[in-house]
Amino acid sequence: MIRLDRVSKRYADGTVAVQELTLEIARGELVVLVGPSGCGKTTTMKMVNRLVQPTSGNIYVDGQDVTNTDPVALRRGIGYVIQNVGLFPHRTIEDNIAVVPELVGWPRKRRAERARELMELVGLDPSVHGRRFPHELSGGQRQRVGVARALAVDPPVLLMDEPFSAVDPVVRSQLQDEFLRLQDDVRKTILFVTHDIEEAVRLGDRIAVFKQGGLLEQYDTPATVLGAPATDFVADFVGADRGLKRLSVTPITAADLEHPPVVRADDDLTTAGAALGADRWAVVLDADGGLAGWISRDLLTGSGRVGDRARRMEAWVELDDTLKVAFAEMLQWNAGWIAVLDDDDRYLGVLTPATLHMALRRSVEADAQDLALTDVVLETVRDV
């Protein structure tokens, strides 16, 4: 969808912002450009919509060389979101969103309908916010309007230059969540610039790591960038805690789970106690295979139903949640294990700190050795 072929940008004073950059972004992919200040990431993005003219090389958007097209027409077909939003203060929110449709000649009724549709898409109530002015909105709400405006004429490509960096951490996290939900719906091809590696890891399908002088050091998935940095610069940039960051991009899989004894809520206490064998506790399931809690051996005495004595299970996650979510649940509930459920809330197994650690190691080794997860053999203390 977007292809940069040996693109460079040199300024008259001899400054080199980007050097011989070759990069390809697939349709519907969200690629994050990340690196320290002055590394050329924003310059790279601005060359795509010709806000900066490349010195050499070619840039293709959907097969068309944009270096030979009308820059005004090009920009009207590419959504653009910047850090400080850039809304017109004298226009209502609805009119701000409708700016590009107005420029390309859409009739008023169609512009208004599109603006209201997009407000709903980004989580703003058109009846409440449509006639307000930018100064009447919070910073996070203005950022949502900026995203809506960029989507107004349904462009195939969206450029985003540190769009969430001007808001507080809580709002930023909320905007990131909302943006990921939005991308699931619209599947735009997105070039996203940030200096924050955690934001890059959270949002990107792939990450391009730049260093000073506009040199591309690594272009890969977040998991690979964190687990197998290509250079010392990338390793330093992503940080010594990259293992912890990698938790957020490593999903739980069925192979990571342990399977302790299982009893049913309707089972007799004595019968259930015999089923435990040497184990000290068991998972309690309802008649449909859903999680009903857990029970320890000392409670499996006397007469009655297991369900009457089972303890509520607070810590659980879904399969395909990340290891970070699982780790957070363990910490929040001070739990030595957490249950893992499928999409229908049926119990699948449990994850423990030991199996979580093994899952992370397996994922890192798979990337480092270019192996499937099932082919990774991990050395343990028992093997030494």
d(Cα 148, Cα 101) in Å, to the nearest integer? 12
* Domain presence at residue 237: yes
- The backbone region for 214, taken as left when phi is positive above 0, alpha when psi lies in -120 to 50, beta otherwise, is left
Give the per-residue pLDDT at 379. Answer: 66
**What's the mean per-residue pLDDT of the chain?**
87
* Total residues found in the chain within this entry: 384
Higher pLDDT, 31 or 334: 31
Considering the domain architecture, whether residues 21 and 103 belong to the same structural domain is answered as yes
279 and 206, same structural domain?
no
**232 and 301 within one domain:** no
Band of residue 380 on the pLDDT scale cut at 50, 70, 90: low
Mean pLDDT of 358-366: 83
Statement to judge: residues 212 and 299 lie in one domain: no
The listed range with the strongest mean pLDDT (44-48, 270-274, 284-288) is: 44-48
Do residue 202 and residue 70 come from a single domain? yes
Q: What does the pLDDT average to over 192-208?
A: 92
Residue 76 located in a structural domain: yes
Q: Are residues 60 and 170 located together in one domain of the fold?
A: yes
pLDDT of residue 56: 93
Dist CA 209 CA 91 (whole Å): 38
Q: Which of 236-240, 264-268, 344-348, 367-371 has the lowest mean pLDDT?
A: 367-371
| 370 within domain boundaries | no
The pLDDT value recorded for residue 384 is 39
- CA dist., res. 218 & res. 52, Å (int): 23
Categorize the per-residue pLDDT at 200 as very low, low, confident or very high, splitting at 50, 70 and 90: very high
pLDDT over 50 (residue 309): yes
pLDDT above 90: percentage of residues in the chain = 37
Q: Output the domain CATH number for residue 311.
A: 3.10.580.10
Name the burial class of residue 164, with classes exposed (0-12), middle (13-18) and buried (19+) by CB atoms within 10 angstroms of its CB.
Answer: buried
Q: Are the C-beta atoms of 41 and 193 separated by less than 8 Å?
A: yes
pLDDT higher than threshold 70 for residue 381:
no
Report DSSP letters for 315-357, one per residue: -EEETTSBHHHHHHHHHHHT-S-EEEE-TT-BEEEEE-HHHHH
Contact 49, 191 (CB under 8 A): no
Residues whose CB is less than 8 angstroms from the CB of residue 251 and which lie 6 or more positions away in sequence, other chains included: 320, 321, 322, 323
pLDDT confidence band for 361 (50 / 70 / 90): confident
pTM here? Answer: 0.77
Higher pLDDT, 85 or 285: 285
**Is residue 369 over pLDDT 80?**
no
pLDDT at position 215: 92
Judgement on whether residues 277 and 321 belong to the same structural domain of the protein: yes
Tell whether the model's pLDDT for residue 151 goes beyond 90. no
Residues 317 and 289 in one domain: yes
Token code pair at residue 185: 């719906």
Overall average pLDDT of the 55-60 stretch: 93
74 within a domain of the structure (yes/no): yes
Domain count, the chain: 2
Distance CA(9)–CA(187), nearest Å, equals 30
Tokens at residue 140, please?
A: 């996070």
What CATH number is given to the structural domain containing 180? 3.40.50.300
The share of the chain scoring above pLDDT 70, in percent, equals 98
pLDDT at 165 over 60: yes
Position 382 pLDDT exceeds 60: no
Based on the domain organization, do 200 and 306 belong to the same domain?
no
With beta carbons less than 8 A apart as the criterion, state whether 335 and 356 touch: no
Averaged over 188-200, what is the pLDDT?
A: 91
More confident of the two residues 278 and 43: 43
d(CA 316, CA 340): 6
**Ramachandran sector of residue 162 (left: φ over 0; alpha: ψ -120 to 50; beta: rest):** left
Here the tokens at position 199 are: 């934001």
Is residue 367, in this structure, part of any structural domain at all? no
CA atoms of 308 and 310, how far apart (whole Å): 6
Domain membership of residue 249 (yes or no) is no
- Give the range of the structural domain holding residue 338, as residue numbers without chain letter: 254-359
pLDDT digits (tens, 9 = 90+) for 217-272: 999 999 889 888 899 999 999 887 887 888 888 889 888 899 998 988 888 888 78
